[in-house]
Amino acid sequence: MSEARLVAEEIRVLGDRAQSLSKLVDHPAWKTLREELDRVKAQYEGRLARKLTSGGISASPLDQREVDYQRGFFSGAEWILRNPEQAESSFAQALERNAE
């Protein structure tokens, strides 16, 4: 298959994904996903707060890698939920860069 045909096929697939994403955002489950992310984040923050406030001087230190990982995960998930159109645009830009 020629490179032009591969790029055209990738663009078609991206269009299909954009259409699916649009349907997803309009679906009632999108709100449920948002609520679930908020619930899981609140649970994590509660555990973190308990770790920070318990044990006094003899408390075990926090695992900074774990904190950074969770921060990045929640930040990324929230960004996608707030900006689904931009997420799809970012995918399109990445596809264009890879096609060049």
What pLDDT is recorded for position 1? 56
Sign for the pseudo-dihedral over CA of 36, 38, 41, 46: negative
pTM value is 0.62
d(CA 68, CA 51): 16
pLDDT classification of 10: cutoffs 50, 70, 90: confident
Give the count of domains, the chain. Answer: 1
Pair 7, 84: CB distance under 8 Å: no
- Taking residues 3-32, report their average pLDDT: 74
pLDDT digits (tens, 9 = 90+) for 55-77: 778 888 889 999 999 999 999 88
Q: At residue 100, does pLDDT exceed 60?
A: no
Ordered DSSP codes for 75-86: HHHHHHHH-HHH
Q: At residue 38, does pLDDT exceed 90?
A: yes
Q: Which residues contact 91 (CB under 8 A, 6 or more apart)?
A: 14, 17
Domain residue limits at 30? 3-99
